[in-house]
Amino acid sequence: MSNRVYLFDTTLRDGEQSPGVSLNVSEKVQIARQLAKLGIDVIEAGFPVTSPGDFAAVQAVAREVKGVSVAALARANFNDIDRAWEAVKDAEQPRIHTFIATSDIHLKHKLRKDRQQVLEAAVAAVKHACRYTSDVEFSAEDASRSDLDYLCQVLEAVIEAGAKVVNIPDTVGYTMPDEFKKFIESIIDRVPNIHKAVISVHCHDDLGLAVANSLAAVAGGARQVEGTINGIGERAGNAALEEVIMGLYTRKDLYGLVTNVTTEEIYRTSRLVSSLTGMMVQPNKAVVGKNAFAHESGIHQDGVLKERTTYEIMNPAMLGITRSNIVLGKHSGRHAFRERLAELGYNLSEEEINRAFGRFKDLADKKKEITDQDLEAIVEDEIRELPNTYELSYLHISSGTTIVPTATVGLKIDGETVEEASCGDGPVDAIYKAIDKITNLHLVLEEYVINAVTGGKDALGDVTVKLRRRDNGRTFIGRGVSTDILEASAKAYINAANKVVYESKMKS
Ligand code: KIV
Ligand code: ZN
């Protein structure tokens, strides 16, 4: 058996099924490019039949992201498969991923089909997909709750029909690690042609065991692991790929297996996904959480200072997390700034560097010590790939404990500044009402989150908002960063409004 584990990332499909997450085409392409840089083997870019937006995103990823397989999801019917192929066919290595449930619960209540009908649909789907490409993956949805004999019968039949990868999902996060390992071993024992396919697993985190189950399955012989960055996904989410990767790496003594990943890209990928989806990473999250390498106890600090490995099983530098705290200040020049950004892994054009440098200088006037986190925040805030319809020109606020909060906002639209003023329940509400008067977009603020990028009174405020369109219910994430939290709030709202306009333009 090969010692290579393939990583299949479904952040753009299952990850996007996280409640409230909605990415536009440009954001999906941005994430896919970063996943390719990370060294992911297969990117599942979407489920094309579900909407024209999903189709367009899969097509854009397939056309623009190179050096990686791009998969499109399809139920086990010809129409889904035809749409999936149409969307993915221009990829360097296109894959069709077709699925049907095999558990009796799903057969009886959802599909209303008997076992023979499902088996026939699975085989027909795989044969149909194989007319387009030899790279066909079949998933037996809810496999872990399926009858093992029947599942093995389906797997044998789809491999015979041409499936090159057979995926065993723990769709509802029900299985336990020991049990799942034995389940995979039994499949290997019982399916006579299993050596002709790669066994994949796809675990959900309903009981918090998605990563443990994935690793157990690998120990049992699975060689493809599906998951998402930061573990986002349907309900409690999917297996967090960064944890799977670092589990295999850190315990290579135990597993003896390798992946194709450039681990130094892990942290950056995690930040990008968090920033574009608006799904915050909890501070104590394994591998990429803010506290994952923070040592609070004096005994631990002492140990780490004497020898890092006393309390650290992974080197944060390996994940692309830099340790330098005070990197640049007011007197730092463009050269030092550019060098530091390059060290942090940002590969920016001259125009982007100029814009980011302007922001850096403004910040350095207000904040004495500029850390890597500050740099990451301003670069990510400044360098957005979407065309901006609205830009903040100025903002005046009048607020206090005894007056009605009032905001005057100037937005630049096509080079002209448009001004509006409004009162509100608080200064942020007043700003948002003034912006609404200018944009006329009919948006509802669903979530507002503010974080400090670093500690201290002069810390940058990082605001994330989720806005919902009243007409079609679509949600949009916006982010803004500034030492002034009201300015950060305005920028976040404007960022989301720009995404609304972008999506409308793409559709018209
Ligand atoms: O969880 C699941 O079973 C899935 C399949 C479509 C692979 O997402
Ligand atoms: Zn899933």
Is pLDDT at 325 greater than 60 in this prediction? no
- In ligand 1, the atom with minimum distance to the C-alpha of 99 is 6
Higher model confidence: residue 81 or residue 504? 81
| CA of residue 288 to ligand 1 center, whole Å | 25
Report the alpha-carbon distance of residue 226 to residue 95 in Å, rounded.
14
Asked if residue 138 has its Cβ within 6 Å of ligand 1, the reply is no
Buried b (16+ CB within 10 A) or exposed e, 362-375: ebbeebeebbbbbb
Is pLDDT at 234 greater than 70 in this prediction? yes
Mutation test of ligand 1: which of 14, 42, 96 has the most ligand atoms closer than 8 Å to its C-beta?
A: 14
Among 11-20, 119-128, 302-311, the range of highest mean pLDDT: 119-128
Report the alpha-carbon distance of residue 439 to residue 434 in Å, rounded.
9
Is pLDDT at 431 greater than 80 in this prediction? yes
Report the alpha-carbon distance of residue 31 to residue 228 in Å, rounded.
12
Asked if residue 171 has its Cβ within 6 Å of ligand 1, the reply is yes
Selection from 259, 257, 223, 256 nearest residue 242 by Cα = 259
Report the alpha-carbon distance of residue 495 to residue 439 in Å, rounded.
12
Asked if residue 14 has its Cβ within 6 Å of ligand 1, the reply is yes
Among 153-167, 337-351, 438-452, 456-470, the range of highest mean pLDDT: 153-167
List, for residues 16-74, the tens digit of each pLDDT value: 988 888 899 999 999 999 999 999 999 999 999 999 999 999 999 999 999 999 999 99
List, for residues 379-429, the tens digit of each pLDDT value: 888 776 667 899 999 999 999 999 999 999 999 999 999 999 999 999 999
Neighbouring-strand partners of residue 8: 42, 226
Residue 334 main-chain phi, psi, to 5 deg: -60, -35
| CA of residue 409 to ligand 2 center, whole Å | 44
- In ligand 1, the atom with minimum distance to the C-alpha of 172 is 1
Asked if residue 99 has its Cβ within 6 Å of ligand 1, the reply is yes
Report the alpha-carbon distance of residue 195 to residue 40 in Å, rounded.
23
Asked if residue 483 has its Cβ within 6 Å of ligand 1, the reply is no
Q: What are the extents of the domains in the chain? A: 6-277, 322-383, 391-507
Q: Say if residues 350 and 385 touch (Cβ distance below 8 Å).
A: no
- Mean pLDDT score of the chain, rounded to an integer? 94
Residue 327, pLDDT score: 67
Pick the CATH number of 6-277 from 3.20.20.70, 3.40.50.1820, 3.40.1170.60, 3.40.50.2000: 3.20.20.70
CATH architecture of 391-507: 2-Layer Sandwich (3.30)
Residue 130, pLDDT score: 98
Residue 326, pLDDT score: 54
Report the alpha-carbon distance of residue 450 to residue 21 in Å, rounded.
18
DSSP string, 165-233: EEEEEETTS---HHHHHHHHHHHHHH-TTGGGSEEEEEEB-TTS-HHHHHHHHHHHT--EEEEBGGG--
DSSP string, 16-77: GGSTT----HHHHHHHHHHHHHHT-SEEEEE-GGG-HHHHHHHHHHHHH--SSEEEEEEESS
Residue 323, pLDDT score: 63
Residue 380, pLDDT score: 80
Higher model confidence: residue 130 or residue 306? 130
Q: How far does the chain reach from its first CA to its final CA, in angstroms?
A: 51
Is pLDDT at 508 greater than 70 in this prediction? no
